[in-house]
Amino acid sequence: MGKVIQLNRIDKHYKMGDQTFKALDDINIDISSNEYVAIIGPSGSGKSTLMNILGCLDTPTSGDYLLKDSLVKDMTETELAQQRNQSVGFIFQSFNLLPRATALENVMQPLVYRFISAKERKALALESLERVGLADKVNHLSNQLSGGQRQRVAIARALVTKPHILLGDEPTGNLDSKTTKDIMALFDELHNEGHTIILVTHEQEIADHCQRVIRLVDGKVVADTRKGIEESLRV
């Protein structure tokens, strides 16, 4: 499997008065196509910072990030926007849906930036909603849907651009235990279909679904395990 993500000696530092806070410290991670990865750690471990860098929402202080063999720091703002729209599908804990839009309109929204007709955008969005089991909810507004249904809309919106990577930030954090199981079963199905999935979480139960677990503490990778076998970390 080819590598879709390569992080080489990634640092992210923030100035806090006269001091420097190291949110990420010498991160070295490769992720291949169709991997199912959890990035886990306590609050303040650097998970969200790492997710923002993976999703091209933030840039590292130093180090190299290669996304599908392209060096992110050499990309223009237009190229970065294209990567966010085409290469990465985002799924957030808070869903981030447009409240006055229907499920269909929410899923169509990322396609506005594509040079395709409204008819094609609608067809792709309907296909994506059907994939997540919401074919009968396309005209419902966000506030007419349950939490689990809203998260399914968010997953459909992430899938509609046919991205190389699905990136979830605490994607079950606002869901009850039964709905969490349903959403994780959907992620399992998507992985089996060939998607590369990266879930950022603090919950071990979520990490247990994944084939690989990368654990962060204080901005450092302290463990990288595949199917329970700890691997030596790159130096």
Annotated domain spans of the chain: 3-230
Q: List Cα–Cα distances, 109 to 38, 131, 211, 226, in angstroms.
A: 27, 17, 32, 36
Q: Span 202-218, mean pLDDT?
A: 93
At the topology level, CATH places domain 3-230 in Rossmann fold (3.40.50)
Element (H, E) at 224: strand 220-226
Residue 51 confidence (pLDDT): 93
Classified as helix, coil or strand, 137 is helix
Query: Tens digits of per-residue pLDDT, 62-120?
Result: 999 999 999 999 999 989 888 888 889 999 877 889 889 999 999 999 998 888 899 99
Tell me the pairing of strands 62-67 and 70-71: antiparallel
Residue 41 confidence (pLDDT): 93
pTM of the model: 0.89
